[in-house]
Amino acid sequence: MSVEQGRRRYGSSGVIGAPLDRVDGRLKVTGAATYAAEHRIEGVVHAVLLGSTISRGRITRIDTSAAEAAPGVLGIMTHLNAPSFPALTPFITGQGAASQAVMPLTDDVIHHAGQYVAVAVAETLEQAREAARLIQIEYQAEPPRAELESRLSEAYPPQPFFGGIPPEYRRGDPAHGLDEAAVRVEQTYSTPIEHHNPMEPHAAIAVWDADGSLTVYDSSQGVFPTRQGLAEALQMPIEKIRVICPFVGGGFGTKGGLWPYTVLAAAAARQVGRPVRLVLTRAQMYTSTGYRSQTVQDVKLGARQDGTLTAIVHTSTSIGVAIGEFPEMAPSVTQMLYACPNVETKVSLVPMDLGIPFAMRGPGEAPGMFALESGLDELAEKLGLDPIELRLRNFAEVDPESGHPWSSNGLRECYAQGANRFGWARRNPEPRSMRDGRWLVGYGMATASYPTVGFPAQAKATIRADGSAVVQSATADLGTGQYTVMTQVASEALGVSPDRVTFELGDTRQPFAFVAGGSSGVRSVGPAVKMAAEAARTKVAELASGDEESPLGGYDVELIGAEDGELFVRHDPSRRETYAAVLGRHGLDEVTGEGGVEMAMNPGGRRVNAFGAQFVEVRVDPDFGLVRVTRALGAFDIGRVLNQKTARSQAIGGIVFGIGMALLEHTVIHPTLGTVVSPDLAGYLLPVHADVPALDAFFVEVEDPHVNSLGAKGVGEVGITGVAAAIANAVYHATGRRIRELPITPEALL
């Protein structure tokens, strides 16, 4: 549906919820959308990064003479001549902006394979590549720590997450709860390293002006945090830095913090006195811009004979590195998802010589729910209960951690409507009992849940003399539809059709917005946009109310509404006037309103989560162990749905992500070299069309008056949660083989 079709069908006051096409869609399909590396900058030169070939040790010798003498070379930067970079404040554990705390090129120590050891800058990309090749480096290598499972005894507790969430949690008496259980499940579940692989590689262009100010075009999920991190790394005033990113070619979390390549691009540009473009290779994105950490998770479940949970103990060990911390908080979902009086969770890290892990779609919950929801399926089988019934018997009527009511919780409806739409009642619970010819057929399900984060956000709305509007907030659109949804929010608040609204984002000269991550965009930026648009509308209404020549003159502003570009008296709609007429009579080119929110994570103590239920059908070849997902359905509660089309796109995208997690994705680290074995899309398997069936996703809209003024939660990450467990549970139902280590390969089933 086009914007114009949506306007005719829904009107300017009913546009929220309409499945409008993406307002930025034409720019993207015609190639007119400008991504980080594509900005045209006069005099730009090229930088290429050189990565370490060892995983642990020191640099003993660097010879850059041949590189410096090569044609077109403008400069070579190593730890011998790089500026002095301070230790950076981490985004995750220190309330800073940096994805990793220790910058490369600070000394001769090598912490991981692929660590940047030099930057070559030249007139052309080919010359820069050749210069990087000519740099000679000698190392004193040490045996790297590259295996997690063999070193679990070295695990240590991480720093608190986001500056306050502790790595350990307990309520009640879990040991006593396990002792009194009639039925217990105790198992270990494992997930591998996974990589984000967005279509657009990480890239930056850095431009210094004569006055010492810096402009950076970066592929970023948050221009303001990027600016904050650059100011810290370059030790310069934050107001002298501008960061621009109007389009992001996919992120999934990897572009949610400042990475060293952006700092090095700026430092190199300052060194050579020219604008510098730096684009990472696909292989460099496997070593230098984060990944989902490997986890080893132990789950203990205890229940009474009727299925009531008596205890859950969920511990997870993941990767720790010397250049910073990103604890994969896999057990966090266990603390809040089910009504259980006795719960214990713990997160630990094992020191390894790898690049730093980072947030990847559904961080924590995606691997954590694989373990928890697989364990619940095992418990349901032991109890002889339907998996949905087990979950319903442990449904949390209130937040189990705080005892407070939820902001809203439509999980019961997701179970019921999802099961009905999927045809769950046709499932024969006996493993290996369902067939389609020679194929074994299995049904599996799991709960989905993800917190929707609330961050501070600001917006500005300007009504122009012709009645059109421009709305700004420095958020990001990773392909999620933020441009479109914020256009709809502003359209409805202003009473102007969507095609008369332009939403602008991705520039630190715009009003503040934080990282577009943690499913925070709609929840945080949406209310600010609504507030700014309403403020601009009110200003125009005040002009009309105080104007004797206006049909609205003398009426209180509270009595004046807006629709189709006109203000009108609510109880007498015949009295109306266009925005353009009001501004024109007062000789104004524009009227601007501003809005901002200081978003509480849990408003009024109420936890804000998106919920859902995942249902999957698989077919398994009994001779070759080949697994095919033949049907998948997700039913989700995300509060008010602002755009049915973009929300559904996010939901099915999450399910596809989960199919990859369950069956394909696995970054292999060489156990003795500590290097990524296949740092490319030839060796890292992702779902393609042949792997993905027709998917079904829909929304159970539950009113949430607490989350924000729109009643809208986030949808970006809940779609992946529970998918891997649902697939693993379906594989067990089909084959009778319980796979507890991802990905589920044919070898594991044979």
5-24 tens-digit pLDDT: 544 443 445 799 999 999 99
In this structure, the answer to whether residues 410 and 471 fall within a common structural domain is no
Which DSSP string do the residues of 179-206 spell out, in sequence order?
A: HT-SEEEEEEEEE--B----SSPPEEEE
Which sign does the torsion angle of CA 406, 410, 412, 414 carry? Answer: negative
Question: Rounded CA gap, 67 and 484, in Å?
Answer: 48
Q: Are 10 and 2 in contact (CB under 8 A)?
A: no
Same domain, 742 and 613: yes
458 and 594 part of one domain: yes
> Does a structural domain hold residue 507?
yes
Using the predicted structure, report yes or no on whether residue 141 has a pLDDT greater than 80.
yes
Q: Looking at residue 13, what is its pLDDT? A: 53
- Within a domain: residue 115? no
**H or E element, residue 631:** strand 627-637
Residues 714-728 have a mean pLDDT of 97
Tokens 């997870």 identify what position? 316
Verify that 624 and 595 share a domain, yes or no: no
Say if 110 falls within a structural domain. no
Give me the pLDDT at residue 91, please.
87
Phi, psi of 508 (to 5 degrees): -70, -5
Phi, psi of 87 (to 5 degrees): -65, 130
Give the domain extent around 718: 405-453+603-750
Q: Same domain, yes or no, for 545 and 418?
A: no
Q: Of 548, 578, 600, which residue sits at a domain end?
A: 600
Alpha helices, H only, 21-143: 25-29, 65-69, 91-94, 125-134
State pLDDT tens for residues 625-665: 999 999 999 999 999 999 999 999 999 999 999 999 999 99
Alpha-carbon span 35 to 479, nearest angstrom: 12
Q: Do the Cβ atoms of 194 and 360 come closer than 8 Å?
A: yes
8 A C-beta contact, residue 744 and residue 626: no
How far is 242 from 332, CA to CA, in rounded Å?
36
pLDDT for 602: 86
Q: What is the pLDDT of residues 308-322, one digit of tens each?
A: 999 999 999 999 999
The two tokens of residue 21 are 């096409």
Token pair belonging to 47: 């930088």
What lies within 8 Å, CB to CB, of 15 at 6+ separation is: 6, 7, 488, 491, 492, 497, 498
Q: Do 572 and 704 have their domain in common?
A: no
CB atoms under 10 Å from CB of 170, counted, come to 13
Q: How many CB atoms lie within 10 A of CB 583?
A: 21
Residue 447 lies in a domain: yes
Q: CA nearest 561: which of 653, 510, 481, 495?
A: 495
Q: What is the pLDDT of residue 163?
A: 64
Edge-to-edge strands, sheet with 136-141: 109-110, 57-63, 136-141
- Assess if residue 169 is contained within a domain: no
pLDDT digits (tens, 9 = 90+) for 548-592: 999 999 999 999 999 999 999 999 999 999 999 999 999 999 999
Rg (CA), the chain: 27
Of residues 542, 598, 717, 741, which has the active-site annotation? 717
Mean pLDDT of the chain: 96
How do residues 453-500 score in pLDDT, each as one tens digit?
899 999 999 999 999 999 999 999 999 999 999 999 999 999 999 999
585 & 498 share domain: yes
**The CATH number of the domain where 436 resides is what?**
3.30.365.10
Please state the domain count of the chain: 2
pLDDT digits 0-9 by tens, 340-369? 999 999 999 999 999 999 999 999 999 999
Average pLDDT over residues 252-271: 98
Is 97 inside any structural domain?
no
| Nearest residue to 631 (alpha-carbon basis) of 559, 587, 695 | 695
Given pLDDT bands bounded at 50, 70 and 90, which one contains residue 416?
Answer: very high
Closest alpha carbon to 365 in 133, 612, 64, 196? 612
**633 in the same domain as 513:** no
Q: Tell me how far apart the alpha carbons of residues 506 and 479 are, in angstroms, rounded to a whole number.
A: 13
Cα–Cα distance, 218 to 221 (Å, whole number): 9
* Whole-number pLDDT of residue 270: 98
Contact of 394 with 596, CB cutoff 8 Å? no
- Same domain, yes or no: 617 and 675: yes
Mark which of 566, 582, 600 sits at the end of a domain: 600
Mean pLDDT of 36-49: 98
Residues 433 and 492 in one domain: no
Active site residue 534: no
CA 227 from centre of chain? 20
Task: Give the burial string for 602-639 (b: 16+ CB within 10 Å, else e).
Answer: bbeebbbbbbbbbbbbbbbeeeebebebbbbbbbbbbb
- Does 507 lie in the same domain as 429? no
Closest CA to 23 of 44, 1, 42, 43: 1
Residues 563 and 586 in one domain: yes
Which residues in 10-30 are b (16+ Cβ under 10 Å) and which e? bebbebbbbbbbbbbeeeeee
Instruction: Please state, as a whole number, how many other Cβ atoms lie within 10 Å of the Cβ of residue 295.
Output: 25
- Choosing from 600, 632, 661, the residue where a domain stops is 600
Residue 2 pLDDT exceeds 60: no
In the chain, the largest separation of any two C-alpha atoms, in whole Å, equals 85
Write out the two tokens for 574: 């015949």
Task: Decide if 505 is inside a domain.
Answer: yes
* 462 located within any domain: yes
Name the pTM for this structure: 0.97
Q: Structure tokens of 479?
A: 């392909």
CA distances from 506 to 34, 187, 244, 482, 590 (A): 12, 45, 6, 11, 23
Burial of 439 (0-12, 13-18, 19+ CB in 10 A): middle
- Residue 204's identity, in one-letter code, is A
In this prediction, residues 684-701 reach a mean pLDDT of: 96
Closest by Cα among 255, 250, 722, 706 to 523: 706
